[in-house]
Amino acid sequence: MLAPGTRVRVTQQLPQHDRVWTTSAEGSVVRYRQAKTGSWYAHGRDDRLWLDRLEIRLDDGELVTLNLDQYSVIEPVSAS
């Protein structure tokens, strides 16, 4: 589903104390990968914190890198 060129809509949520912030981005997958951060984590590979990252190209050409977490929903979208 996350193969390059696949069109997706990614919805992410950020829980707050009394509400949830929701945002969506739609575009074509450029790359999906796990990438390490600069944060140190003793039990991680190379002693680093690794995040799932999805790069998509929006319709206007902007390249967006999304850090995926348990609140991320990825849906395939048919090309319009």
pLDDT, tens digit, 9 for 90 and up, residues 56-79: 999 999 999 999 999 899 999 986
Q: Is the pLDDT of residue 41 over 70?
A: no
Phi, psi of 47 (to 5 degrees): 55, 35
- Its domain, for residue 37, covers 7-76
Residue of 31, 32, 34, 26 whose CA lies nearest to 51:
34
In a domain, 2, yes or no: no
In a domain, 30, yes or no: yes
- Share the mean pLDDT of the chain: 88
In a domain, 67, yes or no: yes
In a domain, 14, yes or no: yes
In a domain, 72, yes or no: yes
In a domain, 23, yes or no: yes
Work out how many domains the chain is built from and give that number.
1
| Tokens linked to 8 | 């997706």
In a domain, 61, yes or no: yes
24-50 average pLDDT score = 79
In a domain, 1, yes or no: no
